[in-house]
Amino acid sequence: MVTSTAEGPLRTLPVPIPIADIYHGPSTSSASSYSHDTGMEASDQHHQHEHPRPTTANPFRRDRSASTSLPWKRRPKSLVLGDGDILDGLGELAIEESHDVNNHEPRPSTSFKGKFRRASVSLMKGIVGRDRRSSEPAVDYHEYRPTTAHSAWNRLRQATSFRHSRSSYGDRSGLETIYSPHESEFPDLPVPGHGLAPPIIPHHTGGAAKAAAAMQNEYFAFARQQQEWLSTDELNDRESGIGIALTATESQSGFQEEQDPSIVRTDFIAHLPSELSVQILAHLDAAQLRAAGQVSRLWYQVVQDQHIWRRSFLREKTSTYATSLPVQPGTGCGVPTIRPGMDWQKIYQARDELDRRWQIGPQARATYLNGHLDSIYCLQFDENKIITGSRDKTIRIWDMRTLQCRLVIGPPEVVNETSILFDPNGKPIHYASSTTNERTNPSVPVTVSFPTHHKASILCLQYDDDILVTGSSDSTCIVYNVRSGYRPVRRLQHHTAAVLDLAFDGKHIVTCSKDVTICVWDRETGALLKQLRGHSGPVNAVQLRGNTIVSCSGDFRVKLWNIDSGKTIREFAGHTKGLACSQFSEDGRYIASAGSDKMIRIWDANTGECIREIQAHDMLVRSLHIDSVSGRLISGSYDTDIKVFDMETGEQRLDFPRWHASWVLSAKSDYRRIISTGQDPKILILDFGADVNNIGMLESARKYEVACEAGFI
């Protein structure tokens, strides 16, 4: 209630504790009557300062709060206890010295009011220790001692007042009795111990956790209602992971709390049209598709769609390192011709296994083809055939699938000899063998000689679907018509020394020679268009990309030429000895060169900068091949080693040491094989696709078969 005096208005008086209703002692009490109780004097003075009482008020009068009392309704009184009952229990309610947290020196107290304050604190502990909302036993707080009499008195009053009952989660009244006003800012945190005193651990925490648990239960109930629209068939899919509530670990719980509960999660495969499901899943690679197929039976059925695997394969397996366009199906680069009814999942699996073998190590089956009588200087191959040129003056065509020699082209004095087909014991000299020298796949090829033929070693060759061009030590080149059974069309003659290398495209044929010149010919007519001069030593290699030629020479230099002008565009200097080979990437961005200094250098064709140096071999590097699709660089050396490097990093990926008995003269590769030739008259096939399931599905369809004296090739 609000009281006032002549001096001014006073505060609303708090409701005294119920014990004040039952005590009837002396009517007056002054500070001097208990000033000897030093331990309580300061607190009492502080209390009186904060809550001044009117001078006319009776201290034992029961005041009522204006907020709850009405003039016509009498407030019920508390239980009446006698004076003796209180005095008898003072000894039991007193706080022992050993429980004094602050270790104050106990002082004797003769003031009844001081004892009464201590008794009220102890009584309050017993009251607030019992949680009316919980079945847990009351917490014993006897080891704690209130900081001030004022705070203990008010908390005791609040605990016994009907106006201060709470209905929220977690009752913190027990904690409020033991913390000082400064500690009340963090009521749910432990209080460190002081000196030798133990820390104070709260016993009545957890209100926020209970509230959070209740909210989570409500959310789960709401989520279950939202899932009722799912069909019965989906809910009965016991093999599916859809709709299963996972128990999160501690590390995952934080992530789950951040998720928006308003997001509805559903199986999009089950509700979208199949065409859209296929479009979505086609963006996954093989490993992701296999994982998706394990989600449920429905997902497994959708993942089996061949359109998904075809689109994924064509996206993942047609990218290239240095070509202007992705790999086109049916071009012999490991992307098969698209035909109806193809099992693209098996095709993808076969290609994945093949690529893995290229990465993890030399898991290739070695096969040797025998038949040449002398060193094999050059070769080229595709999925169907291998064509080789040798010092024995012959060109031989081999079947890639059967590993048999089908055709031998050479001068009549060579091909008419019996020794070109049989050994002295009458056995065929053309056969395949493994590393154990076991003979397999023997063959007796057809031999043929044309009026236009080479009279010396075949040093270089190249073919496409229409023509085969060969260069020889007789300083000439011969152009053959492939479709007519490899019949000669014309001879290219202008060099004055051996033709060491050649290259051609749809318009030009380019040849280089020991006579230190480069000749440019018209492909259709065979007319000489230009002769390029600039090297001071034998030109050992040439490559052609568009209207640009790259060449290397024994003069240590690599040159870039323009066909139209016939002039040098750029010169690449850095090698310290003569060069034996050079290669141009298909997009014309990179040039690789090597030679007697045992180093492989990779150049930027646009800037002339040497972007990478590779310490490759122990002897002269005789052969280089850039696989512009995979980015692999194949090298062969006089040290009899064949190595595979990464064009991007320069790192060595694979090494095949001493697979030839002597110098390696030529080495090339495609998506599946490395094929090399050397001074020993054998062709080495390193097949990474051997024993890979369905590896044949990666092959392109044959565009045509060539009819010749040997039949169809």
Task: Count how many Cα atoms sit within 13 Å of the Cα of residue 82 in the half-sphere of its side chain.
Answer: 3
Task: Give dist(CA 204, CA 173) in Å, integer.
Answer: 8
Q: How many domains does the chain have?
A: 2
472 or 20, which is more confident: 472
SS (H, E, C) 632-643: EEEEEECCCCEE
**Residues 22 and 145 grouped into a single domain:** yes
**Residues 177 and 272 grouped into a single domain:** no
537 or 89, which is more confident: 537
Task: Give dist(CA 647, CA 644) in Å, integer.
Answer: 9
pLDDT of 424 above 60: yes
- Per DSSP, 51 falls in state S
Instruction: Determine the pLDDT at residue 437.
Output: 85
pLDDT of 129 above 70: no
Instruction: Determine the pLDDT at residue 304.
Output: 93
Classify 8 in phi/psi space as left (phi over 0), alpha (psi -120 to 50) or beta.
Answer: left
Residue 573 lies in a domain: no
**Residues 136 and 37 grouped into a single domain:** yes
Range scoring the smallest mean pLDDT among 228-237, 263-272, 379-388:
228-237
**Residues 180 and 274 grouped into a single domain:** no
Residue 50 lies in a domain: yes
What is the arrangement of strands in the sheet containing 467-472, beginning at the earlier edge strand?
458-463, 467-472, 476-481, 487-493
Give per-residue pLDDT as tens, 245-291: 444 454 544 545 566 777 777 888 888 898 899 999 999 999 999 99
Beta bridge partners of residue 290, listed in sequence order: none
pLDDT of 539 above 60: yes
Hey, is 311 helix, strand or coil?
helix
Pick from 606, 610, 676, 597: nearest CA to 642: 676
Instruction: Determine the pLDDT at residue 361.
Output: 72
Residue 652 lies in a domain: no
Instruction: Determine the pLDDT at residue 546.
Output: 92
Residue 631 lies in a domain: no
Residue range of the domain that includes 86: 2-187
Per-residue pLDDT, averaged over 659-682, amounts to 96
Residue 344 lies in a domain: yes
Range scoring the smallest mean pLDDT among 166-170, 431-435, 654-658:
166-170
Per-residue pLDDT, averaged over 288-295, amounts to 92
130 or 283, which is more confident: 283
pLDDT of 708 above 70: no
**Could you tell me the end-to-end alpha-carbon distance of the chain, in angstroms, rounded to an integer?**
117
631 C-beta neighbours (distance < 10 Å), count: 17
Domain finish residue from 360, 380, 403: 360
Q: How confident is the model at residue 201 (pLDDT cuts 50, 70, 90)?
A: low
- Per DSSP, 526 falls in state -
pLDDT of 372 above 70: yes
Q: How confident is the model at residue 226 (pLDDT cuts 50, 70, 90)?
A: low
Are the beta carbons of 369 and 405 closer than 8 angstroms?
yes
Beta bridge partners of residue 151, listed in sequence order: none
Give per-residue pLDDT as tens, 139-191: 444 444 444 445 554 555 555 554 444 444 444 444 444 444 444 445 556 67
pLDDT of 495 above 60: yes
**Residues 153 and 291 grouped into a single domain:** no
What is the arrangement of strands in the sheet containing 642-646, beginning at the earlier edge strand?
621-627, 632-637, 642-646, 652-656
Instruction: Determine the pLDDT at residue 12.
Output: 42
**Residues 281 and 183 grouped into a single domain:** no
Top-ranked range on mean pLDDT: pick from 50-54, 111-115, 412-416:
412-416
Instruction: Determine the pLDDT at residue 38.
Output: 38
Pick from 644, 637, 684: nearest CA to 361: 644
pLDDT of 628 above 60: yes
Instruction: Determine the pLDDT at residue 435.
Output: 84
**Residues 164 and 279 grouped into a single domain:** no
**Residues 147 and 296 grouped into a single domain:** no
CB proximity list for 455: less than 8 A, separation 6 or greater = 393, 411, 472, 474
pLDDT of 647 above 70: yes
- Per DSSP, 55 falls in state T
Task: Give dist(CA 664, CA 375) in Å, integer.
Answer: 10
Domain finish residue from 304, 330, 360: 360
Are the beta carbons of 646 and 604 closer than 8 angstroms?
no
**Residues 279 and 168 grouped into a single domain:** no
Instruction: Determine the pLDDT at residue 39.
Output: 41
Instruction: Determine the pLDDT at residue 115.
Output: 55
Residue 18 lies in a domain: yes
pLDDT of 636 above 80: yes
- Per DSSP, 418 falls in state G
Distance of CA 525 to the CA centre of its chain: 55
Q: Phi/psi of residue 92, each to 5°?
A: -75, -30
Residue 638 lies in a domain: no
**Residues 172 and 283 grouped into a single domain:** no
Instruction: Determine the pLDDT at residue 499.
Output: 98
Per-residue pLDDT, averaged over 130-147, amounts to 44
Q: How confident is the model at residue 711 (pLDDT cuts 50, 70, 90)?
A: low
Pick from 628, 561, 133, 30: nearest CA to 331: 628
pLDDT of 321 above 80: yes
Please provide the average confidence, as pLDDT, over all residues in the chain.
78
Instruction: Determine the pLDDT at residue 500.
Output: 98
Per-residue pLDDT, averaged over 95-110, amounts to 47
Instruction: Determine the pLDDT at residue 410.
Output: 98
Burial (CB count within 10 angstroms: exposed 0-12, middle 13-18, buried 19+), residue 39: middle
307 or 157, which is more confident: 307
**Residues 172 and 279 grouped into a single domain:** no
Lookup: tokens for 13: 């008086």
Lookup: tokens for 367: 């096969």
Domain finish residue from 322, 341, 360: 360
Instruction: Determine the pLDDT at residue 697.
Output: 95
Instruction: Determine the pLDDT at residue 111.
Output: 54
pLDDT of 44 above 50: no
643 C-beta neighbours (distance < 10 Å), count: 23
Range scoring the smallest mean pLDDT among 169-178, 199-208, 496-505:
169-178
Pick from 378, 223, 230: nearest CA to 298: 230
Instruction: Determine the pLDDT at residue 475.
Output: 98
pLDDT of 233 above 60: no
- What percentage of the chain carries pLDDT values higher than 70? 64
CATH of the domain at 330: 1.20.1280.50
Instruction: Determine the pLDDT at residue 208.
Output: 67
Per-residue pLDDT, averaged over 214-234, amounts to 64
**Residues 174 and 303 grouped into a single domain:** no
Instruction: Determine the pLDDT at residue 678.
Output: 97
Lookup: tokens for 655: 């090494």
Torsion of CA 206, 212, 218, 223, to 10 degrees: -140
Burial 225-262 (b: 16+ CB within 10 A, else e): eeeeeeeeebeebeebebeeeeeeeeeeeeeeeeeeee
Residue 124 lies in a domain: yes
Range scoring the smallest mean pLDDT among 230-239, 297-306, 490-499:
230-239
Per-residue pLDDT, averaged over 335-339, amounts to 94
Burial 581-617 (b: 16+ CB within 10 A, else e): bbbbbbbbbbbbbbbbbbbbbbbebeeeebebebebb
